A = this chain, B = another copy of it.
Amino acid sequence: MAAALVANGGATAVKSQNTGRYAAVYSEVQNSRLDHPLPLPSVLRNSFKVVDGPPSSAAGNPDEIAKLFPCLFGQPSATLVPANSSDNSSGQGLKIGVVLSGGQAPGGHNVISGIYDYLQDHCKGSTLYGFKGGPAGIMKCKYVVLTSEYIYPYRNQGGFDMICSGRDKIETPDQFKQAQETAVKLDLDGLVVIGGDDSNTNACLLAENFRSKNLKTRVIGCPKTIDGDLKCKEVPTSFGFDTACKIYAEMIGNVMIDARSTGKYYHFVRLMGRAASHITLECALQTHPNVTLIGEEVAAKKQTLKNVTDYIADVICKRAELGFNYGVILIPEGLIDFIPEVQQLIAELNEILAHDVVDEAGVWKKKLTPQSLQLFDFLPPAIQDQLMLERDPHGNVQVAKIETEKMLIQMVETELEVRKQGAAYKVQFKGQSHFFGYEGRCGLPSNFDATYCYALGYGAGALLQSGKTGLISSVGNLAAPVAEWTVGGTALTSLMDVERRHGKFKPVIKKAMVELDGAPFKKFVSMREEWALKNRYLNPGPIQFVGPASDKVNHTLLLELGAQV
């Protein structure tokens, strides 16, 4: 072990042997995670070879994808299978870069550890470069050489602070040129891009670009996002989703017990997760709230804000009849983006605010269509303000910043006031708002995420060594014991479709939304009525690293894999 642990008051500092400086100050639990053993799938523990599958196509519009990726389109996915010879154990040293792209997700550090350990185990004399601050680090050639000592304090730790992340994209010809220059300068054999749907699309464009310029640099992606919306048959889940959901579910479970103990609050909990409602659905399956809004269902049923308000008010009234004036309601961050009338209003607002002055007297409102005007006036004033004021650098409404939970509390309150007139029973309603987001992105990875990420990274190393490019590291069979997990790489082009933007086709990996005929949603639907009226609250408790539930895997993944939960 390349680092020593030194007692430092209540905490312990991880001291670098080379520099003698404290790299970080750690709590007892953080420390205990450093040497947490990570099992590898058995195929990675023994001799293996990389076997190609049949030629691949695209998720949609294969002709356009073929045009956008002339070098890579159609290439097969790859699977690691046991081999007799040990051809993977004696490779020559490689120069590999790694970059973290986009928002944090628990486990990123373990992907890097996995790559590093693969190189140590199989390609002696390799160098691993960590590009700093996301893709900008590639373009500016800002990096750190990752050593055993450098990596050690981050093993099984949350966050992306080992090399940090960034949201820049490598898009323009100039930017591609910069990336090429870095690849050449560092003599890179490969690059691992750890990111979400956009970042993996970018990784594929980079792979294509390097190949087209006859650079030797291969590019492998890794599926990262707590939102859980980067997945497909070959990539059953993105890392970080498991941990984030468990952290949110712990807090939801606590708030549920609080609701039941106090008997007088309705807790409206908005959950991070951008467009898709996977996090909200998973938290519902883990905790059994009284109401759960799933954006994809709201959109499919073309519901209005009034419909959503009525649904919540209905449950509250039925519970009041049963004597329960408390409850817990889960709301996905992206909810209002799923409501057609709100999308329409936001589109109109973006247009108006881009071109017109907003006058105090409200003359600007006349530019709204009658339906949007009616909706705007229906919204609580605080939400009107947020729609007008919170805008991103492009001038667009920042949907993620709108406090939907507060909006719904006010709208439900108003609706219940109306219903109170002449009601046979007394409805008491006190709403309490919560937003759970940042707390979940950087937690210590669950045992599942720690192990999954390590396999993703270790597998990415194997793919690079075997000369593969344009694949996303794919670890499967996740409902089975780790030893039986499958390892391989999926052609990124096979996950792609095109979107028309500014008159051009752009390749995109489609976000995986909650499938209304998928097993997790169906399970939820089969139980939600019982959860609404009877109190079936479940408190998963804090994530445990040893003992009971420490090796539990999230419901969504297990249900999608056909396992019984």
Contact = CB atoms under 8 A, between A and B. Distances in A.
A442 interface: yes
Given A254-B439, A258-B104, A262-B104, A544 B541 contact: no
A432 B438 contact: yes
B158 A257 contact: yes
Interface stretch (A55-63, A159-167, A292-300, A366-374): A159-167
Interface in A96-134: 104, 133
Interface in A438-454: 438-444
Nearest to A13: B536
Contact of A250 (B257, B542, B544): B542
A261 interface: yes
Contacts of A439: 251, 254-255, 434
B536 A254 contact: no
A164 B261 contact: yes
Nearest to A10: B565
Interface in A394-414: none
A439 B547 CA distance: 23
Interface stretch (A21-29, A45-53, A471-479): A21-29
A222 interface: no
Given A27-B549, A548-B32, A565-B10, A165 B262 contact: yes
Contact of A444 (B442, B536, B541, B552): B541
B164 A539 contact: no
A31 B159 contact: no
A431 to B, nearest CB: 12
A548 B438 contact: no
A540 interface: yes
B255 A442 contact: yes
A362 interface: no
A555 B10 contact: yes
A562 interface: no
A159 B259 CA distance: 9
A439 B545 CA distance: 21
A31 B552 CA distance: 14
Contacts of A555: 10
A32 B104 contact: no
B164 A255 contact: no
Nearest to A26: B538
A253 interface: yes
A247 interface: yes
Interface string A245-276: 00100110111111011110101000000000
Contacts of A25: 288, 536-538
A28 B261 contact: no
A280 B270 CA distance: 25
A258 B159 contact: yes
A508 interface: no
Indicate how many identical chains form the complex.
2
Interface residues of A, number: 65
A350 interface: no
Interface in A125-150: 133
A257 B159 contact: yes
A552 B549 CA distance: 21
A11 interface: yes
Contact of A540 (B9, B27, B247, B262): B27
A254 to B, nearest CB: 5
Contacts of A538: 11, 25-27, 30
Contacts of A165: 261-262
A363 interface: no
Given A159-B261, A257-B158, A261-B104, A28 B552 contact: yes
A442 B257 contact: yes
A546 interface: yes
A104 B32 CA distance: 31
A543 interface: yes
A527 to B, nearest CB: 9
Contacts of A257: 104, 157-159, 161, 442-443
Nearest first, the 9 closest Cβ-Cβ pairs linking A and B are: A29-B541, A542-B542, A159-B257, A32-B548, A257-B442, A28-B549, A160-B261, A546-B547, A258-B442
Given A28-B548, A133-B263, A267-B438, 18 more contacts: A9-B565, A10-B555, A25-B537, A27-B253, A27-B539, A29-B539, A32-B548, A32-B549, A104-B257, A158-B257, A159-B258, A160-B261, A165-B261, A258-B438, A434-B438, A443-B541, A443-B542, A542-B544
29 contacts: A9-B565, A10-B285, A10-B555, A11-B538, A25-B537, A26-B538, A27-B286, A27-B541, A27-B549, A29-B539, A30-B538, A30-B539, A30-B541, A31-B548, A32-B548, A160-B261, A161-B257, A250-B542, A251-B439, A258-B441, A258-B442, A444-B542, A541-B545, A542-B542, A544-B544, A545-B547, A545-B548, A546-B546, A546-B548
